[in-house]
């Protein structure tokens, strides 16, 4: 990629921008108005790519708004950028230095600009994320409730838990309706739920957080989800293969659901028994089951997509 790259260090309150490693810099608030000003800054300097780190969601508004302003945007792994800085002997760390380092990393690594998901995909992801947050909150509240005997506080717990249950039910209904409205999602839902132990929430989470399901080879989708053992060999030495990286929300749900599927699907039961008989540690068995489940889901999703492309070639369906 050629042209000027603008590195942006993102925080909850500000956006620190720098053109290249040592070029002009500016600071903007991380608000709609601030992002609009950043967009003007980039257009004025004929920026070809805006590079910023993934920072727990603080970057999402900037990514969407800058993309809407016809700027190419790349989202980088902050660990990779930091390791790059250390490899270059740059140990200093300030927002301005970080912004320049992000731009330098992007110049060297040439990351691909992101392609924003369609509005319905982003809407589904937002709904699923909120449902997960409320589920975690309910679990925390129930755990705390067990430790309290005071009647007034117990009443407070009861009211909050009732409200959470009401909102969770509404979110579940909204998610189910959204999936039912889309021909592709509807068929994917039916296909994936044909596996015993895979329920509606699992399908919704996968559709929201792993929309590539059914479009990529098994090895690629496994790395994307973080359940593919990574080689660690050197010369004659064969290191232990570990899973790392990937999308934590996807990996989490795969681990949970694979343990359920492992009690119902005959081939999963037999697979699990073979691994245990071979003396494999519980963690290895758990990862292997999650990987097997993902491969099965990917195959079913691929079949659905192939069929839908044949039967509905001209109808727009979600990815």
pLDDT given for residue 190 in this prediction: 95
pLDDT given for residue 233 in this prediction: 47
Residue 44's H or E segment, with its range, is helix 32-44
Residue 11: closest CA among 25, 40, 26, 31 = 31
pLDDT given for residue 27 in this prediction: 94
Predicted TM-score of the model (pTM): 0.76
**Digits of tens for pLDDT over the chain (319 positions)?**
458 999 999 998 999 999 999 899 999 999 999 999 999 999 999 999 999 998 888 898 999 899 988 899 999 989 899 999 889 888 778 888 899 999 999 999 999 898 777 888 889 999 999 999 999 999 999 999 999 999 999 999 999 999 999 999 999 999 999 999 999 999 999 999 999 999 999 999 999 999 999 999 999 999 889 887 655 445 554 555 566 567 888 999 999 999 999 999 999 999 999 999 999 999 999 999 999 999 999 999 999 999 988 876 555 445 5
| CB neighbour class for 277 (10 Å; exposed up to 12, middle 13-18, buried from 19) | exposed
Residue 197 CA to residue 259 CA, distance in Å, equals 9
Residue 152 CA to residue 311 CA, distance in Å, equals 60
Q: Are 17 and 26 in contact (CB under 8 A)?
A: yes
pLDDT given for residue 317 in this prediction: 46
pLDDT given for residue 119 in this prediction: 84
The set of residues, in sequence order, having a beta carbon less than 8 Å from that of 104 and lying 6+ positions away, is: 7, 20, 21, 84, 88
pLDDT given for residue 246 in this prediction: 75
């Amino acid at each position: 990629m050629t042209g000027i790259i603008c590195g942006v260090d993102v925080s909850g309150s500000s956006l620190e921008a720098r053109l290249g490693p040592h070029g002009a810099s500016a600071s903007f608030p991380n608000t709609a108005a601030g992002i609009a000003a950043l967009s003007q800054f980039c257009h004025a300097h004929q920026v070809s790519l805006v590079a910023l780190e993934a920072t727990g969601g603080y970057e999402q508004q900037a990514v969407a708004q800058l993309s809407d302003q016809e700027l190419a945007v790349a989202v980088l792994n902050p660990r990779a950028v930091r390791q790059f800085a250390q490899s270059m002997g740059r140990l200093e760390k300030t927002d301005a230095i970080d912004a320049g380092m992000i731009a330098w990393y992007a110049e060297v690594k040439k990351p691909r600009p992101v392609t924003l998901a369609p509005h319905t995909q982003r809407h589904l992801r937002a709904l699923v994320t909120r449902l997960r947050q409320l589920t975690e909150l309910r679990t925390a509240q129930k755990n705390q409730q067990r430790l309290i005997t005071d009647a007034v506080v117990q009443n407070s717990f009861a009211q909050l838990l009732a409200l959470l249950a009401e909102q969770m039910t509404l979110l579940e209904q909204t998610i189910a309706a959204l999936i039912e409205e889309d021909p592709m999602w509807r068929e994917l839902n039916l296909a994936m739920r044909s596996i015993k132990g895979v329920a509606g929430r699992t399908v919704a989470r996968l559709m929201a957080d792993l929309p590539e399901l059914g479009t990529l080879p098994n090895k690629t989708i496994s790395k994307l989800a973080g359940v593919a053992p990574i080689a660690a060999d050197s010369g004659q030495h064969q290191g232990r293969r570990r899973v790392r990286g990937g999308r934590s929300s996807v990996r989490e749900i795969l681990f949970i659901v694979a343990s359920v599927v492992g009690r119902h699907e005959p081939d999963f039961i037999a697979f699990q028994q073979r691994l245990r008989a071979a003396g494999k540690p519980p963690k290895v068995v758990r990862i292997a089951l999650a990987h097997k489940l993902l491969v099965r889901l990917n195959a079913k999703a691929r079949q659905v997509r192939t069929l839908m492309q044949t039967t509905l070639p001209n109808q727009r369906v979600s990815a």
